[in-house]
Structure 1
Amino acid sequence: MEQDFFTNLPLDINTNILSRLPLRSIAISKCVCKPWLNLLESNDFEIKTPPALARVTSNNWLSHCMIFEIEDEEEADLDSHDLHYNRLTDSKIYHGSSIAGVAANGSLLLLVVVTTYSNPTCCLHICNPITRKYVYLDLPEAYTCYLSFGFGLSKISGQYKVVCINTFSGSHHVYTLGTGTWRRLEDGAPSGFNLPSITAQSALNGNPHWTLRDPKQRMWICGFDVETECFSIFSTPPPIDGRGRLNGKLAALRDCLCYSYTWDDEIVIWLMKEYQVEESWTIEYKLSTTRFGFDKTKILYVIPIKIFKDGDILMLMNSNQLIYYSNKTRTTQKIDMFKDASKKCTFALIFTPSLLSLESFGIKNVLSF
């Protein structure tokens, strides 16, 4: 009789082997036997695969979520400036509704969903795009046009938190996943500022951040500490060449806050090397739009998604085009994974693939998409 070696392997060795498999193979492994299913669905199981790219598109009341594995420069064919990627999942998320904002933290995504254009109410969903499970959250405020949202993950407690900012009333709330209730926060730093409505944020070290304007229309950055549940306000990059503090887009790259904007023929990408230290803002890239091969008058903004080890950059342009910039040749090319995203509202962000179960938070109304 043939011996079953996997049955006799210690649990920690089984776990180590399975955690190194590609995501697609891990999903298939759940069907092998019940012990593997229980192991792979436990929160103690951690996937050792690199971060993945989530692409969410929304158009004509139909929203899709696609997950891609992307390879770093050691594997990609840099001479042809070709980014290698593999599509893992392609899921229809919603019918009759549209995604208005997306945020990632850890393994979960926060989706801001608009139900109708004539009556722009919205709702919140937290989902794991790998397990295709989500949970619906009620809103703490009725008037959604004044609300902005953030999604945080505590590295100490492991708690996921959603923060809701109402810049009109000055009332702010926080929701800890699994508790089922919103808590009112003390009136904090965002009060009196203007944030874009129903948009999500950029996360750094598990904490959400937004750009905002003061009453004099000057740009600032707002951060929310998930542990202390306190807000902080600090400056955007300093003026250069008499331009003033320009309106830009916020991201997180290389464990730093990133702020990018377009001006004349340039895309300028700043990194804040020391958190909340204005003097640490450093220009990481100045990219000439003439090298992009696109009509510069149609480049509204560019958001860096990932900087590779050799300086190549994966960027989202105008919410509907992913472009890959080669630091070696100073050229760019469009990426095929977004070729069907034309004229759609698109979100692209890096997240950590995981089989994290929403049921493990004690949530009973977990749904599938």
Structure 2
Amino acid sequence: MEQPRTRPRLASLSDFPPEVLSAIFCKLPIESILTCKCVCKPWNGLIEDRQFARQHLLGESERATQLLVQPYWPDQDDDDEVDHHLCLVDVDGRLSRRIPVDDFNVKRVDLMGTCHGLVAVASTMFLDLVLVCNPVNRETVRLPILWSKVVPYNHRVGLGYDSSIQKYKVLRTYAEGSVRSFESATVGTNELWRKIETPYEDLGTSRVSRPVFWNGAIHWKVKPRNRPLEAPWILAYDIINETFQRIHLPQIMKFELVVVRGSLIVIEHQKEKMRVYEVKGERVGEFEVIFVEEHDTHVTWNMYHYYNVIDRSEDKESYLLEITACYGESADMREHFTQFLPKLANYSYRDITGLPRNFTTTANYRPSLISPTGIN
């Protein structure tokens, strides 16, 4: 008697070797990877493994840059009534995904430095509130508490990666009176804050901007206080060698410092002009600023209507701008994103679902699954 034929079993993703699955998962958007974690225990274990996090990080240049947005509520005084969250913004997909924040109050702290999908979060008013977290997997490390009674001025925290020990380091700076201090700590260790010698005396009477990490160094824009005719400059700090460099600029009075597509660029704001410079060099001690191009923005910018550059296209033909503008008699401030094409003198408004009305942006953010305690 002829035996009934059985249909051959179709192969499924579960039949692929782990290394093949890892390669497939690494190509997916971060939201899809988080969904895959919930499919089954083997997939969850594969994605939770630090080896996968390293592999995912190495492929970050192939994925689109996203933005990390911190909402703020200028008229909200009662923290208990605020739904604290961050937003991960996909500009091309025109979507904003809310990320709940349970470990810190986002109204009382600022997002400062960012590196490998991690962000340094710190209070501008107190020294003892410094966190390094991954907003995607919500893993958070709190830096050592010193119970300091210092009331800091212009407290800024930078985050960088020390490849020699495969650990992340935080460098914070703050002013107390006319003296500016620098302190360093290694994330995920028992190391306390270490004093770093202040490299330049005039830093005590200067303001520093939110820092950026590029080419192994943390960079700040430095603006002299009470000296309006003195031009700002850039301070660079080498994470591994713990050395500083003062990067001189042309006579630029108003500019911003931003990392886009692997380049550190300086954007000079000059009425209707946008002048673009790039920082060149492989390490601290070799950095220099080179003029690249100038664009006519065809808009007269002022304190009530201004922009920040958030991203630049690979072909350098367009810029993503965060526009801040006042509306109505009540001077209601609102932010939105706009694509600017200089050669066409064209602005294209980006209507992004779920974007809050008021926010600040961490540019060039690439989501990852990396742990704040290190890559090893």
TM-score range, shorter-chain basis? 0.7 to 0.9
1:286 corresponds to 2:307: no
Counterpart in the other structure of 2:349: 334
> Percent identity between the aligned chains?
19
Distance 1:307 1:299, change over 3 A: farther
Counterpart in the other structure of 1:81: none
Which residue among 274, 277, 282 is the counterpart of 1:267?
274
| 1:167 Cα deviation from its structure 2 partner | 3.9
Which residue among 51, 67, 73 is the counterpart of 1:53?
67
Distance 1:285 1:254, change over 3 A: farther
Contact 1:54 1:68 in 2 (8 A): yes
| Structure 1 residue matching 2:96: 3-state secondary structure | strand
Q: CA-to-partner distance for each residue in 1:254-292, whole Å, 9 max, x for gaps?
A: 4333222322322322222446668752133323242xx
Which residue among 303, 321, 333 is the counterpart of 1:315?
321
Counterpart in the other structure of 1:349: 363
Which residue among 181, 196, 202 is the counterpart of 2:207?
196
Counterpart in the other structure of 1:106: 116
Counterpart in the other structure of 1:210: 220
1:182 corresponds to 2:189: no
Within 1, Cα distance between the matches of 2:359 and 2:183?
27
Once the two structures are superposed, the pairs formed by residues 149-188 of structure 1 within 5 Å of their partners are 149-168=157-176, 169-188=179-198
Q: CA-to-partner distance for each residue in 1:309-336, whole Å, 9 max, x for gaps?
A: 2311112234933221124522113323
Amino acid at match of 1:325: F
Within 2, Cα distance between the matches of 1:96 and 1:67?
15
Amino acid at match of 1:13: V
Counterpart in the other structure of 1:220: 233
Which residue among 255, 258, 274 is the counterpart of 2:265?
258
1:235 corresponds to 2:248: yes
Within 2, Cα distance between the matches of 1:37 and 1:324?
38
| 1:102 Cα deviation from its structure 2 partner | 2.4
Distance 1:33 1:24, change over 3 A: same
Distance 1:95 1:170, change over 3 A: closer
- Unpaired runs of 5+ residues, structure 1, are 72-83, 115-119, 240-244, 363-369
- Unpaired runs of 5+ residues, structure 2, are 1-7, 325-333
Counterpart in the other structure of 1:22: 29
Which deviates more, 351-360 or 103-112?
351-360
Q: What TM-score does the superposition give when structure 1 sets the normalisation length?
A: 0.78
Aligned residues: 333
Contact 1:207 1:225 in 2 (8 A): yes
Q: What TM-score does the superposition give when structure 2 sets the normalisation length?
A: 0.76
| 1:171 Cα deviation from its structure 2 partner | 3.4
Contact 1:54 1:348 in 2 (8 A): yes
1:38 corresponds to 2:45: yes
